[in-house]
A and B are shown apart, each in its own frame.
Chain A
Amino acid sequence: MGIVVSNLTKKYGTQKAIDNISFEVKTGEILGFLGPNGAGKTTTMKIITCYMAPNEGDVKVNGISIRENPEEIKRNIGYLPESNPLYYDMPVLEYLEYVAKLQNVPQPEIPGRIKEMVKVCGLDVEKHKKIGELSKGYRQRVGLAQAMIHDPEILILDEPTTGLDPNQIVEIRKLIRELGREKTVILSTHILPEVEATSDRIMIINEGKIVADGTAETLRKQAQGTEVLKIQIEEAANRDEVFSALMNLDTVDLVDPVPDNDFAFLINSKENISSRKAVFKLCVENNWVLTELTPLETKLEDIFRELTTK
């Protein structure tokens, strides 16, 4: 089931939480929603899950508008809200049963679904405890279990890995990846490696507007434009000689000496050309020993910072 968001605007008072955003999520796609706090991630999710009505624009899930038939849409969505609210005085199993019934899971299937969720989310040890007695990580698992109990076509997870320890984070990411093969998943986070690890597509949102949209690679290319190489040379006689030789290469735009190291340089290539071969040949011709040749990638962190701090 696909989601089509068109021209969505939501105001709180006079402040625009999201400002005329449009995007599309296809079936089986995992969309990572990135953005600083207050960027509008949660608001967008609340609108897609039919919790709040937008001021303008529309969301269509599987062709059904949130304004027409929210009940039908809610049936196909599993939602884990941001702060993972739960009924602390309810035991885990009872709570899952309650949610299953609310989601109209047919009565005979309920025990099987609960069993599966307990297994998938690793709740077996804690399943008889009250939710309030669980640690934060286990509560988060209960939150995930209730979101998936009715085997929804669409999963919307608002910061699904907060409060989990590193092992659990790996497990949950794996789970999301697996789910994402058949289901449509939107997850929000501000942990950057997480989106890279889980998502097919990354969307960065800032101050209510989409500032970047694409796979991790396309975002990198967009942000970087030109190739940057870090090289290190040993046993060369003269630093200036090396420097000027590098500068004279056709493909090279700019050479920066690295401050603390005499024979290390940062080479910026001209647009859309790689200087790797030329640098290697130059070293061979001059009998310089090339000990390092690393293309520098712009990190997702840098892209994120650049796009969201202007």
Chain B
Amino acid sequence: MKAIWVIAKKEFSTFFDSLAAYILLVVFLGLSGFFTWLYGSDIFFIGQATLQPFFGVAYWTLFFFIPALTMKMLAEEKRSGTIELLLTKPVTDWQVVAGKFLAAFLLILVALLLTLPYYITLNFIGNVDHGAVWSGYFGMLLMSMAYISIGLFASSITNNQIVAFLLSLFIGVFFLIIFNVLANSFTGDTALLFNYLSLSTHYDSISRGVIDSRDLIYFLSLTFFGLLLAETALAKRNIVE
């Protein structure tokens, strides 16, 4: 457990050393702020005290930003050989993957915490549905967890950051859109299966304020499965036929 935390702290400070964190935070806050308050179907256009416009934007920005965060996490270590240094210390493959996951998750948490002023401002404007806001944030966090684990898996199977980035977008598109489309174009059990696999279905139901254990299990198992695959990809060096 201590090793996970040591790795997470190092990764977290690397984000801030390399400017990546600042760029991500500024662009994330800029984009979401712009579309929440100033442009398009913003809060004033809708005329309701709701954070729905914000969640709508964050939904897509995180989809692109998380792969950008995770793409180098394992791919770069493998390319530069530092993974050998790390794994010959008394840490397990799982601790490495979990530490990196935790670091990315903390950064997303910081990004979302910095949007809390939106919520506070909104409180002054009108009557906010507090439940909807909190469940919206909760859904964002769960979705981020799933994306991070997908991103780490993509990063674990290649030495090339760009490949890792594109691959995690590719996998992400399946969960976000394609499974949903497939669910609509099939009927019966197949439709149910795709509907269950679709990330957007589960996200929608949580962001509506319905926190169902099925959705929780979906996100947690997707996260766990992604991390497990990433660990397996790291442990591949140990496989002997």
- A residues contacting B by CB (< 8 A) are 11, 46, 49-55, 71-72, 74-75, 77, 79, 81, 83, 85-90, 98-99, 101-104, 146
Contact residues, B1-60 vs A (CB, 8 A): 2-3, 6-7, 10, 14, 17-18
Q: How far is the CA of A86 from the CA of B86 in the complex (A)?
A: 10
A11 contacts across to B, CB distance below 8 A: 240-241
Name the distance in Å between B68's Cβ and chain A's nearest Cβ. 17
B85 touches A98 (CB 8 A): no
Q: Which of A53, A79, A102 contacts B240 (CB 8 A)?
A: A53
Which of B88-96, B134-142, B151-159 contacts its partner?
A: B88-96
Residues of chain B at the chain A interface (Cβ within 8 Å)? 2-3, 6-7, 10, 14, 17-18, 80-82, 84-92, 237-241
B89 pairs with A103, CB closer than 8 A: yes
CA–CA, A196 and B36, complex, Å:
72
Q: How many whole Å from B135's CB to the nearest CB in chain A?
A: 38
Q: Is the CB of A52 within 8 A of B90?
A: no
> Judging by beta carbons under 8 Å apart, are B89 and A74 in contact?
yes
B237 contacts across to A, CB distance below 8 A = 51-53
CB distance from B5 to the nearest CB of A (A): 9
Across the A-B interface, give the 10 residue pairs with the lowest CB-CB distance, nearest first: A85-B81, A53-B238, A102-B89, A74-B90, A85-B82, A49-B88, A55-B240, A75-B90, A101-B6, A71-B90
Contacts A53-B238, A102-B89 aside, 17 further interface pairs with beta carbons under 8 A come to A50-B88, A51-B87, A51-B88, A53-B239, A55-B241, A71-B91, A74-B90, A75-B90, A79-B85, A89-B14, A89-B17, A102-B3, A102-B7, A103-B89, A103-B90, A104-B90, A146-B85
| A86 cross-chain contacts in B, Cβ below 8 A | 82, 85
B contact residues around A49 at 8 Å (CB): 88
Given A53-B238, A89-B14, A89-B17, A102-B90 contact (CB < 8 Å): yes
| B89: contacting residue among A54, A88, A90, A99, CB under 8 A | A99
Alpha-carbon separation in the docked complex, A55 to B237 (Å) = 11
* Sample (9) of A-B pairs whose CB atoms are under 8 Å apart: A46-B84, A50-B88, A53-B238, A55-B241, A72-B90, A74-B90, A79-B85, A85-B84, A99-B89
**How many Å lie between the Cα of A83 and that of B239 in the bound state?**
23
Tell me the nearest residue of chain A to B82, going by C-beta.
A85
State the Cβ distance, A85 to closest chain B Cβ, in Å.
3
- Whether the Cβ atoms of A89 and B18 lie closer than 8 Å is yes
B86 CB contacts on chain A under 8 angstroms: 102
CA distance A87 to B239 in the complex (A): 27
State A104–B95 Cα separation when bound (angstroms). Answer: 14
Distance (Å) between the CB of A77 and the closest chain B CB? Answer: 7
Across-interface contacts of A51 in B (CB, < 8 A): 84, 87-88, 237
Nearest CB in chain A: distance from B100 CB, A: 14
Most chain A beta carbons < 10 A, residue from B18, B82, B88: B88
- Interface hub of B14, B84, B239, B241 (most chain A Cβ within 10 A): B84
Closest Cβ neighbor of A101 among chain B residues: B6
Closest to B239 in A: A53
A178 and B89 alpha carbons, distance in the complex (Å): 24
How many whole Å from B79's CB to the nearest CB in chain A?
Answer: 10
Are B89 and A81 closer than 8 Å at their CB atoms?
A: no
- Enumerate chain B residues within 8 angstroms of A77, measured Cβ to Cβ: 88
Chain A residue numbers with a CB within 8 Å of B89 are 74, 99, 102-103
| Cβ of A221 to closest chain B Cβ, rounded Å | 37
